[in-house]
Amino acid sequence: MKTLQLGQFSIDTVVETAGPFAPVDFVLPGVDLAQLEQQSDWLMPRFLNAQRQLMMSFHSYVLRTPRHNILIDTCVGNDKERPLRQGWHRQQSNYLQSLAMLGLKPEDIDFVCCTHLHADHVGWNTQLHEGQWVPTFPKARYVFSDAEYKHWETEHRQALAQGRPAPNHGSFGDSVLPVVDAGLALMVEDGHDFEAGVRLEPAHGHTPGSCVLHARSAGEHAVFTGDIMHTPVQLIDLSWSSRFCHDPSQAQQVRQTLAEQLADTSSWMMAAHFPDPVAGRIVSHAQGLRWSCDHP
């Protein structure tokens, strides 16, 4: 994606990986394939390939304001032990080089904001250094929803105490706790302002403490929606929650509210897994809602 100018702010992506992810009926258990066929003119091949696999991207956003560099969601990370997810296991990507291409070193990041604490949103919070997981962004405050943090902390500790595998592929242990131990975490209540025009708001459902980040500058608006929607395919029927949603009906409510807010407005929606060019808008069409990505 080319840099998106949003008033006095700018938005870029740092792409970790992109391509076919998994069959659409695996990711969205309730999907109606016949409805997808009827709308294949805009869905294929951009969002759905010929094998009916979802085209997805794993990327971070960099939101630059005159005051701060904010990194939003941190993908899977390098060297993480993820034996149950082949593509993620001990992954090696050029993520930090991509960040450098934007003119940013790790110490230039002022805030890391994780919309939720799934393994593909916290990975680059830490990196492996001499056998230890250490914060990748040493000068950043890492902002976590307090509700989200408490939920996964309890799940993590209970799993370890009972000898079960840790949740989220163990990412709480290697990508969240080291940041907390280093004193860099900032747990916030629902409705947290990073600065004027940059506000974290609750959007619980995909996970118990999922949030979205709103950015507003000079009359322009973008919202970083995390995993409220995994793919534009979900615009065809907003009740199609993903198999990764903690509370599918609450996730549906949040998705519907968001779509009603954004449809046919100038607001940009920046999702965590839509394929490039990523930035887009929700628009009405005779057959229902669609995704329009007119930003190159």
Q: Which residues bind Zn ion (CB under 5 A)?
A: 120, 227
Least distance from Zn ion to the Cβ atom of residue 14, Å:
15
Least distance from Zn ion to the Cβ atom of residue 138, Å:
25
One-letter amino acid of 271 = A
Q: Which is nearer to Zn ion, 110 or 227 (CB)?
A: 227
Least distance from Zn ion to the Cβ atom of residue 119, Å:
8
- DSSP bridge pairs for 6: 9
Least distance from Zn ion to the Cβ atom of residue 211, Å:
13
CB 126 within 8 A of CB 175: yes
Q: What is the distance between the alpha carbons of residues 221 and 210, in angstroms, rounded to a whole number? A: 20
CB 169 within 8 A of CB 117: no
Least distance from Zn ion to the Cβ atom of residue 229, Å:
11
CB 293 within 8 A of CB 277: yes
Q: Which is nearer to Zn ion, 12 or 227 (CB)?
A: 227
Q: Which is nearer to Zn ion, 12 or 120 (CB)?
A: 120
CB 220 within 8 A of CB 265: no
- Token pair, residue 124, equals 């680059």
CB 281 within 8 A of CB 292: yes
Q: Which is nearer to Zn ion, 64 or 118 (CB)?
A: 118
Q: What is the distance between the alpha carbons of residues 23 and 237, in angstroms, rounded to a whole number? A: 17
CB 276 within 8 A of CB 287: no
Q: Which is nearer to Zn ion, 9 or 172 (CB)?
A: 172
DSSP secondary structure string, 22-43?
Answer: EEHHHHSTT--HHHHHHTHHHH
Q: Which is nearer to Zn ion, 16 or 227 (CB)?
A: 227
Least distance from Zn ion to the Cβ atom of residue 128, Å:
22
Q: What is the distance between the alpha carbons of residues 77 and 89, in angstroms, rounded to a whole number? A: 10
